[in-house]
Amino acid sequence: MVNSLRFGLWAVGIASAILLPLISALGFRTAFEHHVQHSSIAELEADLRFMTRGLKLENGVVVLVPKTLPDPRFEEPLSGLYWQIVDDKTQTIVRSGSLVTFTMKLPDDVLPLNTIHRHAVKGPDDVDLLLLERRIPEGVEGKHSWRFAVAIDRNLLKSQVDAIMLDTAPVFMLLGFALLIITFVQGSMLMGPLNQASHALVLVRAGRQERLTDMVPNELDTFARDFDALLDAGERQAREARERAADLAHSLRTPLAVLLARADEIEAAGQVGAAATIRDIVTGLEHRATRDLARANIHGPILGRIVELQLTPIIHQITSALARTSTTENLTWDVQVDPAHKVRLDQSDLTELIGSLLDNARKWAKSRIKIATISDQTSLRILIEDDGPGIEPHQRRMALSRGQKFDANLSGTGLGLSIAQEIVQAYGGSLDLSDGLLGGLRVTLELPHTNFGSGPIQLA
């Protein structure tokens, strides 16, 4: 089964455009055949009445003086119209010129006086004839009578029907064409609301609209409301999940602090190894809690809540905040971001993404940090690089892992690059580490202009 509404509409339309004119033509032919036959019978009956006028009374005796019928085809050989008169007493036969020497064999049936019988008989060249017969008596007694017969070739009737069908064929073809046009118009009217709803979904997915309601035709209003309710429920569940993750991470802080204090007591008691083991476990749990807090703050591409954001104001805001710290007073922030470049991210996610990467560059840079953007038809690339020591190629994969710190003297949890990668991946993008032109590390973020989040958001 083809799950295509458009295909179904066209299939029904084409079938209707073929079958309906065909059925109409067959019905019209049947009705016209019936009309032609009845009209021909009425004309033959009139010819019979005209022929009986050939009986004349002369000197007290009824004699037959055949009358020529008005239609000239009765005198044209084998024309298809024939008449014949048989004298019952003498068996004398008088025939039309169209019969030439052929005699129509009349059925041997009881023919009441002045009653018209209808027969199907064979004519010249064995053609099928429609024959009407009438018996006229000489007097009241009816001892002497004449049998009048008139016939028509059925092929003549058929040719009349064929001719009218040929003349009306363009009408039925036009009917089929009109049905195709009607199908196209109806299909357009039906597909129009669906296309409008599809366009509305694209706008919601792209973040240009928040919800479907009031963007679709009335016929799809229930669908739009249910879809919007589903979006609201999904957003509510995501928010609750983030809140639960944050609550869990915060709830671990106090027990971890107690464990660290206990480790100090154990170390003071001389159990240095046990204290170190406890500290390692606590450190791992702290990293995990910190990472979960950061993950809880990632909103991801929630339908209807993502709008276009200009990069320049956000980057300048973050660089200004970082430049005010005492350790970065001598840093040069080289921002080469096109003011026209925009991204479709949640604002808090974008701030977290750029902030974590610039903060990481600040920690390692010696004197300069460069931020630039490059855009093409499919994606926007954000390049952040510094003039620090960089990361060796074989260490870059590890740098994107959870809680990897290359210098224990620097503050932080080592989760900045990892969280940044998860944010980018949530929006269908990628994060790449490479050597920068300044001598240090270059971080390249690639974010698609559209279709972000086409797959499931995986933050675990």
User: CB of 421 within 8 A of CB of 399?
Assistant: no
At 9-20, the pLDDT tens digits run 888 888 888 999
Identify how many contiguous H helices and E strands the chain contains and give both numbers.
8, 14
Percent of the chain residues past pLDDT 90, beyond the cut: 23
Amino acid of residue 7: F
Quote the pLDDT of residue 454: 39
Locus of tokens 């004699």: 63
- Which positions ≥6 away from 106 have C-beta within 8 Å? 84, 86, 119, 121, 131, 133, 147, 149
Instruction: For residue 446, list its beta bridge partners.
Output: 381, 430
Residues near 451 by Cβ (< 8 Å), separated by ≥ 6?
428
Q: What confidence score (pLDDT) does residue 362 get?
A: 87
* Residue-level pLDDT at 90: 85
What is the second-level CATH architecture of the domain 5-159?
A: 2-Layer Sandwich (3.30)
Nearest alpha carbon to residue 100 among 82, 120, 87: 82
Strand partners, 430: 446
Question: pLDDT grade, residue 299 (50/70/90)?
Answer: low
Q: Has residue 40 got a pLDDT over 90?
A: yes
Q: 406 Cβ partners below 8 Å, 6+ apart?
A: 391, 395, 399
Q: What is the mean pLDDT of residues 220-224?
A: 80
329 CB-near residues (< 8 Å, 6+ apart): 323
At 395-450, the pLDDT tens digits run: 878 877 654 554 444 444 456 687 888 888 888 888 989 888 888 899 999 988 75
Rounded Cα gap, residues 413 and 408, in angstroms: 10
Which CATH number does the domain 306-460 belong to among 3.30.43.10, 3.30.70.580, 3.40.50.300, 3.30.565.10?
3.30.565.10
CB contact burial 19-36 (16+ within 10 A = b; e otherwise): eebeeebeebeeeebeeb
Domain boundaries, the chain: 5-159, 207-297, 306-460
Q: Is residue 300 within 8 Å of 349, Cβ to Cβ? A: yes
Question: Is the pLDDT confidence value at 207 over 70?
Answer: no
> What is the distance between the alpha carbons of residues 445 and 343, in angstroms, rounded to a whole number?
12
At 379, give phi and psi (nearest 5°).
Answer: -150, 165
**Lowest-pLDDT choice from 154-158, 276-280, 286-290, 445-449:** 286-290
Dump strand ranges (E) for 28-110. 55-58, 61-64, 81-87, 93-95
Per DSSP, the three-state class of 180 is: helix
Amino acid letter for position 220: L
What is the distance between the alpha carbons of residues 277 and 266, in angstroms, rounded to a whole number? 11
- Compute the chain's Rg from CA coordinates: 50
Q: What is the pLDDT of residues 65-103, one digit of tens each?
A: 777 788 899 999 999 999 999 888 888 898 999 999 899
Vertex 354, ends 353 and 356: CA angle to 5°? Answer: 70
Helix axes 154-206, 221-268, angle to 10 degrees: 30
pTM: 0.51
Query: pLDDT at position 410, please?
Result: 45
Round to whole Å and give the CA distance between 78 and 96.
10
Alpha helices by DSSP H, listed for 150-306, are: 154-206, 221-268, 272-296
What pLDDT band is residue 329 in, cutting at 50, 70 and 90? low
